[in-house]
Amino acid sequence: NNVTWEEAVSPANAQGQAGYRTSKALAEREAWGFMEREKPSFGLTVMNPSLIFGPVVPGSLRNLGEVNTSNTRIRDFVAGRFKEKCPPTGSAFWVDVRDAAMAHAVALEKGGETDGKRYFLTSGGFCNREIVEVIGEEFPEVKGGLPVGEALRDGEYPEGGPKYGFDNGASVRDLGLVYRGLRESVR
């Protein structure tokens, strides 16, 4: 992410997530800069998770309005909010929260073996249509509130499939991750 802070907060990007995404990149750059400048007695391992889906800690929500941003799309599909028109997917990669947590735990257990490395945590690509399909199959009682047919069009992959590929090989190889599938995470 080569976007500068000035570009991210410009009026042209005010409606998007450029500021959020750029803040993550700038924070990571600053962490690496700190390590180089200060040469602390500890190491740095960076985890870069994609969009995080999956269960929340039982009892941690007082109501569904408190669900994390990534899971709001699943909540909103179940609630029938997008019955008339499925929203575009936006971020095309995802990871289950349990897999992201495992990556952090394994890196800590490995001590210095992961120092100086960065890991892209993703199970792979997805589109909102796939989430709708899983919800409809796993929870038939809410199927009537889900978009169907033409209403799903905006939630599909762009023509030709996903725009980007990914490489999560380092997280599989170094951390031993076996990523969950979308069905398990949505369920």
Dihedral in degrees, nearest 10, Cα atoms 59, 97, 5, 66: -20
Q: What is the pLDDT of residue 10?
A: 77
CA atoms within 13 A on the CB side of 133: 11
Mean pLDDT for back-to-back runs of 10 residues, the chain (187 residues): 76 68 88 98 96 92 89 95 94 95 97 95 96 98 97 91 88 98 97
| DSSP assigned state of 150 | G
pTM: 0.90
Q: Please identify which residue in the block is written with the tokens 């047919």.
A: 149
Q: What is the pLDDT of residue 23?
A: 83
Distance CA 80, CA 142 (A): 8
Q: Please identify which residue in the block is written with the tokens 């990556």.
A: 103
Q: What is the pLDDT of residue 51?
A: 93
**Strand-pair category, 46-49 with 124-125:** unpaired
Q: What is the pLDDT of residue 110?
A: 95
Contacts of 98 (CB under 8 A, 6+ apart): 54, 55, 180
Query: Which residues does residue 51 pair with via DSSP β-bridges, in sequence order?
Result: 94
Inter-residue contact 94 to 162 (CB < 8 Å): no
Q: What is the pLDDT of residue 154?
A: 95
